[in-house]
Structure 1
């Protein structure tokens, strides 16, 4: 399990939308992936589209990191790519620890999922 999960809420900029889909994929594969992979090893990412539900936030980038330093390195790496403040505006970064309350108090984790 990851030490922390970060939700980076972003809003697409016109520069991103003006790219074709192949150009977007190429930009991600050449500008973001190598930069992050060269600097960080203990992270995983997922991406969610929200533009059909929100005007303020168009996407949520979810990053799971094994430690706080790894997540810090992700942010440092992303800031040096065109994805930060060129293709996307960073609306908010929310970092959380899954079931932190239950872990802190040594209790069972309440869940709605039937095990």
Structure 2
């Protein structure tokens, strides 16, 4: 049985991103991010969250769920080629990966 990994990608929007109009931001999303989300939609479940009202360092985060770590890796490589990282419009704060209830799998396989 494949394991499902959950990855939290914590990042901060830069002043360059914030200086764009909402229409310009939507354009970047549609031209650069939406095609990547579509490309990996069969193997990655990607959810986008805002957190700027609740956290000083992390303005946004992404939750990715996948059992295909290679596809996650390729997604990140493609993402790094976008203007989000290139301008940069965002700066990564942290990436955290985990297995839901991983201890149970460990205990069952080590018994």
Whether the TM-score (by the shorter chain) exceeds 0.5 is yes
Q: Provide runs of 4+ in structure 1 moved above 6 Å.
A: none
* Matching residue of 1:76: 77
What is the deviation of 1:2? Answer: 6.4
* Matching residue of 2:54: 53
* Matching residue of 2:28: 27
What is the deviation of 1:39? Answer: 6.0
Q: How many residues align?
A: 107
- Asked whether the 8 Å contact 2:37–2:46 carries over to 1, the reply is no
Q: Which of 94, 104, 108 is the equivalent residue of 1:92?
A: 94
* Matching residue of 2:43: 42
Q: Which string of whole-angstrom CA distances, capped at 9 and with x for unpartnered residues, describes residues 58-105 of structure 1? A: 111111122111111111111111112511001111111111111211
Are the structure 2 counterparts of residues 66 and 78 from structure 1 closer, same or farther at C-alpha, using a change threshold of 3 Å? same
Stretches of structure 1 lacking an aligned partner (at least 5 in a row):
108-115
CA distance in 1, matches of 2:40, 2:49: 24
What is the deviation of 1:36? Answer: 4.7
Please give the TM-score of this superposition, normalised by the length of structure 2. 0.84
* RMSD of equivalent CA atoms: 2.1
Stretches of structure 2 lacking an aligned partner (at least 5 in a row):
none
What is the deviation of 1:106? Answer: 2.5
